[in-house]
Structure 1
């Protein structure tokens, strides 16, 4: 446990930041169990005292009142402790999410290169959820049980330190030894269970998505009879975990039973001199029973540490490379040209150069289409122009100013429409307003009209105030792209990057969308990444990228007339050959 937390920056800092609230949580947790024990203590005394038929009701009035007081105080302290602990966790989680967003946003391209989308989602959902459970299920219960352990030993030590030492040894097995044994024995099993569940989700996804293929091929019987080793291994692992937990919990209860027997023996030795003292025997014995609820869950909480450890280590590994940007500048004049000057780029030192001495000069207002096979570096060019990536050699500039020196002005210079623009679960108005936060409603409606969504807005139940639903589910693929185009149009940047915005659309929708895109962006500089030649007539110049360099360059008409390879590609794309 110490090793992952030694250099931790995601758990320990918040223990210090909210130490006042944490102290209150521990005090309330301790008070809850003390009240529970005191309730049973006074109840035990009251029962014993009542059985001796006191001559006056006043002789048992105090324990009656205390029983009521502790009976009320216990649930009150428990409720307030739960509220406080969840408030603490929500504060910490809020800070963690904010920090995680800032970490991801600081160098988005780094994470795109080093983490899969599933890993990022795992960090956002799984890891932060595990940190919440780390506090609620492991840290808080363990600290409260240790504090209670100290209080019990000191309280018994008031009567007999020798007896207190014996109780301390028995409870030590429950609060320290059993949790250590649990994490040692169950740690690997718990981690394996997590991996097996991940594999089962993968298998289930494959089964669901591939079920139609099994049916079409007529192999339903083979599908049902095929071996499922992952499921079998998960069952065996779960059985091993449950078997150990049963024996461990049984042993905890057995040891706690020994503690009760020892208390009975000790109290019979200490409090049997007369009838009045004998009333304390039941009080001491009964007060122990509520305390098992404080000690028993510790082993289970500590056992889950391996799950939390993975999350802690993964979050602490989020240390993106910090780029040293040059002094930021502001373009005083309109964008006149964009230049890639002898650019070399590779993602890692072990890889070959993806771009080799790549040079390209683009005039303001030009429409450039960039084609090439997968992995040729087309999207990399856009990221270099955005400043998300830095070339190992050469320079990318706008008006001869390096793009790395224009990062603070980037939103005013460059807009982007990619393959799957994200639409948030809010109104159309709010989604479009992301392009320009201070835009008026009339400006947004003008942008929607420009991308030919005016009639659609009129048909919607609440017009442009209609909620688009999660990820834009209310609209078709073409409509989603037009909404994103309206956002880009509202942004009004002089340069627009198009990263295969028509992928997945049918030919008719694709043709109509491309016509709209180039119509509304006719005054802008457009750099368009595309995988085929649909709508290529909209481009002023075509660049065919291959092996990190320009293999073909020219206008569509010129290349079709003079370049046999381009002519063949065009004919194949149009289905003419």
Structure 2
């Protein structure tokens, strides 16, 4: 079996935080020890008190101290337990807060890298599972295991004070629970829990794809296929879960059986050791009863470490989460006039795939309106990502006013604005959402932008006008209204280059036509590159290109293509329903 501690040798996601909060960690361990000490001491005093009271002492003062101690330990046990849980969860919340912030900054540092190398489901698995696993690593594994080890040492030392031979025997029996069965759990369930993790991650990916495309499933009448697609993975996951439960039942039975042996051995030893006098016999029940609360300290260790492979997988995955640092060239500064754009012999391929862009050449003149059409997967959106600098071409050059886009990243927000299929609206006021385009814009300028996109009458009807909350993800507004709000954001951004990535998807034809008319009206002086999947509003473009297999298959103005290209006329007729 591979060394289970190997991922921790070069770890920077677990050990640093144990050092950072080591004082709080020590407090947690002390409180945990005190909790189980009070539990064992409570039963110890109760056993002694019962035995001593059965002898009918002449004076109540002879059992007064055990009575007081029983009360004290009875109060101390839940008190220390509560404080230990409060402290341990506070510790974990501090750590996971740091971890989530760090993960967010890691993902945000190079979002394009993760979009290129990970599926959405993988990112959700990372956020939902891996950080959660680190939280469980502390709460369910590290804390209980360390406390059990300390208790193990204390018990052996205490028993050794009376009999080192008996202490050695107890050490061997307890070692079965503390060391042997946890190692067996890792060995037996290691591959199984990893399989469960892989299946769970596959479910994340499948369900993410399915849910995001649920409308297409319903429209195509394949609801049953939608439900059935995840069934094989669910069945395999259920099978692994049942097999794990069966092993856990057998392991827990072994733990209880070993404790039964320890109880009998302790009973026999105390009856032999503490029956030499009437006074000593009172200690027999005390020692035996003190054992039972300690079961709660030792039994969870095996359960906590059985998922160690999952935790280490998460640690490995997080430690490997290193976005590629893109070394940017010396940054240039362009005037914010409308610049020309040039693609020269551009080639691009995603990892382990063939080229999606092949020897692509294109010039977009200042103020020109370019429409890019083509089937899904032909590279339309990839061209926009290359122009933004989110992706880097393997060959060729992409320039704005003769300057490579990589040298314009610090000025990108001033040069390029974008309107995509589903612009995100934050759960704040309309004005705040628009002001994201330019934080320095006044309320009056924002109101003018809203009027320009024909939302003035709507703002007048809202309870608080432009200070109305848009609700989460813009739920207060329709799809067309959301796009107009995003368009107003572009107006206040005032970038000379505008990228439109199918902004009318999901809109009805009337709303789509009206929105396109508004877009090309308010952005009349800008350079526009418009990715679209059909020909509604195509007359607004100065130039059209059709992409097929990463190359330009057709190119020209709408009028020229309609006059000279039979394929374009056919597509136009189909799209317009003629």
Deviations 1:276-317 (A, max 9, x none): 222222221221111110111111111122333443333233
* Alignment TM-score, normalising by the size of structure 2: 0.90
Q: 1:171 aligns with which of 156, 170, 174?
A: 174
Q: Secondary structure at the match of 2:438?
A: coil
Q: Secondary structure at the match of 1:84?
A: helix
> Which residue number in structure 1 is paired with residue 368 of structure 2?
366
Q: C-alpha displacement at 1:165, in angstroms? A: 0.9
Q: 1:391 aligns with which of 393, 396, 400?
A: 393
Aligned partners of 1:477 and 1:505 also within 8 Å: yes
Please state if 1:126 is matched with 2:129. Answer: yes
Higher mean alpha-carbon deviation, 553-562 vs 31-40, is at 553-562
> Which residue number in structure 1 is paired with residue 447 of structure 2?
445
Aligned partners of 1:39 and 1:71 also within 8 Å: yes
Please state if 1:5 is matched with 2:8. Answer: yes
Q: 1:77 aligns with which of 80, 95, 105?
A: 80
Task: State the distance in 2 between where 1:440 and 1:206 align.
Answer: 42
Q: C-alpha displacement at 1:172, in angstroms? A: 0.5
> Which residue number in structure 1 is paired with residue 500 of structure 2?
498
Q: C-alpha displacement at 1:6, in angstroms? A: 3.2
Output aligned runs, 1:202-217, within 5 Å.
none
Output aligned runs, 1:98-177, within 5 Å.
98-177=101-180
Aligned partners of 2:125 and 2:201 also within 8 Å: no
Task: State the distance in 2 between where 1:4 and 1:512 align.
Answer: 57
Deviations 1:411-467 (A, max 9, x none): 122111111222334443433333234444444333333222233333344444444
CA 1:186–1:370 in 2, change beyond 3 Å: closer, same or farther? same
Aligned partners of 2:414 and 2:495 also within 8 Å: yes
Q: C-alpha displacement at 1:564, in angstroms? A: 3.5
Q: 2:546 aligns with which of 544, 547, 551?
A: 544
CA 1:44–1:460 in 2, change beyond 3 Å: closer, same or farther? farther
Output aligned runs, 1:482-497, within 5 Å.
482-497=484-499
Q: C-alpha displacement at 1:503, in angstroms? A: 1.3
Ranges in structure 2 where 5+ consecutive residues have no aligned partner: none
Deviations 1:120-143 (A, max 9, x none): 111111222222112211221111
Deviations 1:310-340 (A, max 9, x none): 4333323322222111122322463432222
Output aligned runs, 1:103-502, within 5 Å.
103-194=106-197, 236-332=239-335, 334-348=337-351, 351-502=353-504
Task: State the distance in 2 between where 1:344 and 1:483 align.
Answer: 35
> Which residue number in structure 1 is paired with residue 523 of structure 2?
521
Task: State the distance in 1 between where 2:40 and 2:295 align.
Answer: 10
> Which residue number in structure 2 is paired with residue 566 of structure 1?
568
Ranges in structure 1 where 5+ consecutive residues have no aligned partner: none
How large is the RMSD of aligned CA atoms in angstroms? 3.3
Please state if 1:17 is matched with 2:20. Answer: yes
Aligned partners of 2:430 and 2:469 also within 8 Å: yes
Q: Secondary structure at the match of 1:391?
A: coil
Task: State the distance in 2 between where 1:251 and 1:311 align.
Answer: 30
Task: State the distance in 2 between where 1:9 and 1:216 align.
Answer: 49
Aligned partners of 1:494 and 1:524 also within 8 Å: yes
Task: State the distance in 2 between where 1:213 and 1:479 align.
Answer: 25
* Alignment TM-score, normalising by the size of structure 1: 0.90
Aligned partners of 2:497 and 2:528 also within 8 Å: yes
Task: State the distance in 1 between where 2:17 and 2:162 align.
Answer: 40
Task: State the distance in 2 between where 1:215 and 1:389 align.
Answer: 34
Task: State the distance in 2 between where 1:486 and 1:316 align.
Answer: 42
CA 1:186–1:355 in 2, change beyond 3 Å: closer, same or farther? closer
Aligned partners of 1:343 and 1:396 also within 8 Å: yes
Task: State the distance in 2 between where 1:315 and 1:109 align.
Answer: 18
Higher mean alpha-carbon deviation, 537-546 vs 291-300, is at 537-546
Higher mean alpha-carbon deviation, 234-243 vs 157-166, is at 234-243
Task: State the distance in 2 between where 1:520 and 1:554 align.
Answer: 24
Aligned partners of 2:429 and 2:468 also within 8 Å: yes
Matched pairs, number: 573
Aligned partners of 1:214 and 1:223 also within 8 Å: no
Please state if 1:41 is matched with 2:41. Answer: no
Deviations 1:201-256 (A, max 9, x none): 86999899799989989x99x99999x77666555544433332222212211211
Task: State the distance in 1 between where 2:220 and 2:349 align.
Answer: 45
CA 1:403–1:204 in 2, change beyond 3 Å: closer, same or farther? closer
Task: State the distance in 1 between where 2:221 and 2:526 align.
Answer: 50
Task: State the distance in 2 between where 1:232 and 1:385 align.
Answer: 45
